[in-house]
Chain A
Amino acid sequence: MSLPDFQRNYFQLFDLPVDYALDLVQLGTRYRQLQRELHPDRYAGASAHEQRLAVQYSALINEAYATLRKPLPRALYLLELAGMSRENIAGQQIDGGFLMAQMELREKLESMEGLIAPESVLDHLVTEISEDITVLQRQFSQAYSVGDLSPAASTCVKMQYLDKLLQEAEQIESRLLDR
C-alpha cells in the first residue's frame, strides 16, 4: 500500500507560515479541523485500505501538531528544515558559564530529597529554570530570524539541557507527593 506522501512540511500541512512565532489558537483550530476529516473514526465503515490510510494520516497530523505546539520541538524542527542535521545541532559549542550553572542547578535538585520542606525550594527552582528557558526562546527567535543558524542551534541545545532538568524536577516532585 502507499504511504501518506506529504511533500509539505508540518507548517504547510496546517497552512501556516514557516516561522518560530506561531499563532497557537490557529494551529489548534486547524489541527481539529484536519482530524475531523481524517481520523480513523470517520472511516469506521470504510474499506480496510481506507482505514489504514486514515490511521497513517491521522498519526502524521498528531505528530505535526505535537512538534509545532511546543517551543523546543518547534525550534529543532525549524533547524532541521533549514538543513541542519541532528549531529550538527548536538555538536554545537556551549559556553562554560552555562555548563557551570547547569551543574549547580543539578546539584540543588539532587539534594532536594534530604530537605525538611523541599516543596517551596523545588517550586523556586522550577520557576528559575522556566525563566531561563523563556530567555533562551527569545534568543533563538532573534538568531533564527536573521539566519544565524549556528547560534540558534546552540540555544536549542541549552534548552534541551534545561528541559531535561525540568523533567527531573517533576520526577522528584511526584516522589515527594507519594511519600
Chain B
Amino acid sequence: MALLHIAEPGQSPLPHQVKRAVGIDLGTTNSLVATVRGGRSAVLPDESGEVMLPSVVNYTHAGTPLVGAGALALAAQHPADTLMSVKRFMGRGSKDALSDAQRSHYRLAAGDEGLVRFITGSGELSPVEVSADILRILRQRAVATLGGEIDGAVITVPAYFDEAQRQATKDAATLAGLRVLRLLNEPTAAAVAYGLDSSEQGVIAVYDLGGGTFDISILRLHKGVFEVLATGGDTALGGDDLDAALADWVLQQSGAPVLAAGQYRQLQAAARAAKERLSTELAVAVDLTGVLPSGGSIRVTRETFESLVRPLVKRTLRSCRRCLRDAQLEAGIDNIVMVGGSTRIPLVREAVAEFFQRAPLIDIDPDQVVALGAAIQADILVGNRPEGDLLLLDVIPLSLGIETMGGLVEKIVPRNTTIPVSRAQEFTTFKDGQTALALHIVQGEREMVSDCRSLAHFELRGIPPMVAGAARIRVTFQVDADGLLNVAAREEITGAQASVTVKPSFGLSDDQITSMLQASFSHAVEDKLARQLAEQRLAAWQLLEGLKSALAADGDALLNVEERGVIAAQMTGLQALLDGTDADAIRLQTERLGRQSETFATRRMDRSIREALAGVALDALDDEVMQ
C-alpha cells in the first residue's frame, strides 16, 4: 500500500520551485537591482563589480542607447542627448516640467496632450521610454546573474509620487518586459530591509533624501505587519538640489559669466564630488580646470557647504513635523531609518537626530537599503515564502477628490488612508432635465481645483431627465494595493454607469504601450508566438496548481460532489491542452476554468475570514502575556 502524502492545508505537496524575483530601485541618480538568495537579500553587481547603475542614458547615436557610467561620461560632450534625472519628469505635464528641463538643458518637443518628450539624437523620447531603457539593463543583469527569465519584479517609487507618476513607472517596467508584482513605496521598502532583523514591535520613521525627492514615512511594526501611519515629503527636493546650491556658489565665487550647457554639467559633477568628500573632510578644493574657462580651483569648507544647504535640510524637517502630526502617535519614535546617499552628510544626520531625539540607524548602506527591501517583498509576492512572514499596509500620499460647483474640491479619499480602499459619495444634478454629468478627478490637499493635480475627466451619460436634485449619482473611488485608482459612477435610480481606470493624459495609452512593446519584441530574437505560448502555459499551470492545493485543502468542505465534478472535468481538459501548442485554446480553457472556480474562490475567502477570527483568540492571549 502506498503511503499517503500529507501536505499542510493550502500548500502544494509538490517540491517547492524557487522563482526568480527581483526588487528594483529606479532612482533619480542611480538604480539598483537586488534579489533574495539563500534567505538573504543582496544587490546584484554588473560584470565589473559595480552595483549602482547611474540613471543616465545617452542617445547620441540612433538605435543604441548607452546606459550608466558610459552615458555619464558623455554628459558634458552631449548635454542635450544625455538624459539624467528623468525620474523628475515621470508622469509630469510639459508645462510644469519646463523649468526643470531648462535647468538641465534638455530640449522638449512641443508635446501633444501635454506630454513631456525630449528631443535627442535618436528622435523624440518620453521619460517612460528612457526609464524603460534603464530598467532593461537591470533586467538583463538579473537574467544573466540568476540564469533565466525573471518571474516578477517589485519596483519602488517615492511614497509621495502621485497617481500619474506611479502609472508612468509601471508603464516603464512593462515596456522593459518586466512583470510588475507591485509598486512599493521606497520608505516602506527601507523599513522592510531593516525590519526583518530588528525588534518585533515599534514605531519607525524613514527619512529618505534621494537624488531628486524627499520622503518621510512613519510606520508601526507589529509582528511582521508593517502599517504605514503617515507619509509626506517633497517631490522637488533632493541631493541634486544640494549639488546645485554648491555649484551656484562656486560659480558666483569664480566670477565666471553664464555657462554653456556642457560646462554647467561639469560644474555640477565637480560640486557633487566635493559634496561627497565633505562628508568625511573638513575642507576640499573644487578643481575648475576644464570646467570653467578661467580654470583654477576654489576652496570650500564644510561650514560653508552647511550654510548653503541648511535651508534645504530645514525644509525636510518641516515635512517631518507635518508627518508626525498626521501619524497621531501616543508615544515617540523607536527607530529612524536613513535612506539615500545624501543622508551621509553629517549635517543631515545631526539635524535628524536632533529633531527625533534619537540617533538614526545607519547599518545598511543608504544607497542599497531600498532595493534590498524591495527584493524581500518580491520574494514573498512571487510565492517563494508560502507562509508569507510579513505584510505591508500602505497608504495613499495625497487626497483624492472630485470637482464640484465653483471649482471647489470635494475630498473623497483623504491622504494617509490605508489602501486598498473603496469609498463612495453621492452627487446630484443641479439643472432640471440634466442628462449628463461631467466628473473631474483631482489629487491634492488644496481647496481649489486649480491648485490640485488634474487626474482625469469622464462623463456619465443617460441620466433620465428629472428635476434638479432628484438624481442620485454614486461615485466610487477604488485604490488598489499599488496605489492606482479606478473610478466608477452610477445613477442609482436608472442604473446608468460609467467608469475609468485613471490614465493621466500625459501618461501612455494602452495602445501606445502595446505598439511599443510590439516594436521592441520585433527587434528581439525570440519568436513572439513561442513567447505567447510560454505565457499561456505558465498562466494555465499557475491556475491548475493553485486549484489543486485549494481543492486538497477545502474541496470536501466547500463544494458538493456535482460542483467538484465540474471543476475536475475542466481541469482535466486544461491539463490535456498543455501538451499541445495551441496558445489560444489554452487561453480560452484557462479563462473557462477561472470562471468555473469563482464560486469556490469566494467561499474560500469567506472561510479565511472566519478562520482568521478564530485564530484571534490565541493571538490576543499572546499579546496579554507579552504586556
| Interface residues of A, Cβ cutoff 8 Å to B | 1-2, 4, 13-15, 25-26, 28-30, 32-42, 44-50, 53-60, 62-63, 65-66, 170, 173-174, 177-178
Q: Is the CB of B478 within 8 A of A45?
A: no
- Which chain A positions have C-beta within 8 A of B418? 62, 65-66
Q: Is the CB of A37 within 8 A of B612?
A: yes
Interface string of B165-203 (1 = CB under 8 A from A): 000000000000000011000000000000000000000
- B623 to chain A: which residues have CB within 8 Å? 25, 29
Return the 8 tightest CB-CB contacts between A and B, nearest first: A59-B422, A44-B381, A37-B612, A59-B420, A37-B608, A40-B481, A32-B225, A50-B601
A/B interface sample: 8 pairs, CB < 8 A: A32-B225, A33-B613, A35-B391, A36-B388, A38-B609, A41-B481, A42-B391, A45-B381
Chain A hits for B546, CB < 8 A: 45-47
State which of B322, B391, B480, B605 has its C-beta within 8 Å of the C-beta of A36.
B391
A44–B546 Cα distance when bound, in Å, is 12
B470 is an interface residue with CB less than 8 A from chain A: no
Which residues of B437-479 are within 8 A (CB) of A?
478
| Structural contact, A48 and B594, CB atoms closer than 8 A | yes
Whether B620 contacts A62 by the Cβ 8 Å rule is no
Question: Across the two chains, which residue of chain B brings its CB closest to A39?
Answer: B391
Docked Cα-Cα span, A34 to B227, in Å, equals 13
Number of interface residues of B (CB under 8 A): 49
Please measure, in the bound complex, the distance between the C-alpha atom of A45 and the C-alpha atom of B543, giving whole angstroms: 9
When A and B form their complex, what is the total count of cross-chain residue pairs whose Cβ atoms lie within 8 Å?
125
Partner of B478, one of A29, A48, A59: A59
Residues of B within 8 A of A28 (CB): 222
- CB contacts (< 8 Å) of A26 on chain B: these are 620
B575 at the binding interface (Cβ < 8 Å): no
CB-CB < 8 A to B380: which residues of A? 41
Contact partners of A25 in chain B: CB under 8 A: 623
Which residues of B sit under 8 angstroms from A44, Cβ to Cβ?
152, 181-182, 381-383
Whether the pair A36, B602 counts as a contact (CB closer than 8 A) is no
Q: How far is the CA of A32 from the CA of B542 in the complex (A)?
A: 28
Question: Does B598 reach chain A (CB closer than 8 Å)?
Answer: yes
Per the bound structure, the CA–CA distance linking A47 and B570 in Å amounts to: 15
Partner of A29, one of B597, B602, B608, B616: B616
B420 near A37: Cβ-Cβ < 8 Å = no
Residue interface mask B379-413, A partner, CB < 8 A = 1: 01111000010011100000000000000000000
- Bound together, the chains give a CA A1 to CA B322 distance in angstroms of 41
Cβ contacts under 8 Å, B417 to chain A: 62, 66
| A32 x B611 contact (CB < 8 A) | no
Docked-complex contact B609 and A178, CB < 8 angstroms: no
Residues of B near A34 (CB, < 8 A) are 609, 612-613
Nearest residue, chain B, Cβ from A46: B546
Other contacts beyond A1-B598, A32-B391, A59-B422: 10, CB < 8 A: A25-B623, A39-B393, A41-B381, A42-B391, A45-B546, A46-B546, A47-B597, A48-B594, A53-B605, A56-B422
A2 to B602, alpha carbons, bound, how many Å? 8
- In the complex, the answer to whether B182 meets A29 with C-beta atoms within 8 Å is no
Chain B, residue nearest A174 (CB): B322
B325 within 8 A of A: yes
Distance in angstroms from B617 CB to nearest chain A CB is 9
Q: A41-B380, A63-B422, A66-B417 are in contact. Are A49 and B598 (CB under 8 A)?
A: yes
